[in-house]
Amino acid sequence: MSGRIARRLSIAGRVQGAGFRYWLRERAAAHGLSGWCRNTPDGRVSAVVAGPSDKVEALLAECRDGPPAASVQEVVTDAAEDPGDTPFEIRR
């Protein structure tokens, strides 16, 4: 079993209006991860994901492709404060 980690993501490209947040919520739930995501004024999607390190890393890899309608240019990650063991949510 891998240790629990939390990562902040900043995802750039054609990610708003492409269903990225809903896709991310679905993928996070499939991996059993907690956290949140939201659109940012600069056109990115910002997120915090937390859970077992192997599951977080798997989701980060998926984010580099995103859903079919998206065109991801960059995924920047950094350590984040763990949001706790709550369901992944979309924030406004």
Q: How far is CA 88 from the centre of its chain?
A: 9
Contacts with 69 (C-beta within 8 Å, 6 or more apart), sequence order: 14, 18, 19
**Active-site residue identified among 21, 25, 27, 44:** 21
Cβ proximity of 8 and 80 under 8 Å: yes
Is 44 designated active site?
A: no
Q: Active site residue: 4, 8, 14, 39, which one?
A: 39
Active site residue 21: yes
Active site amino acids: 21, 39
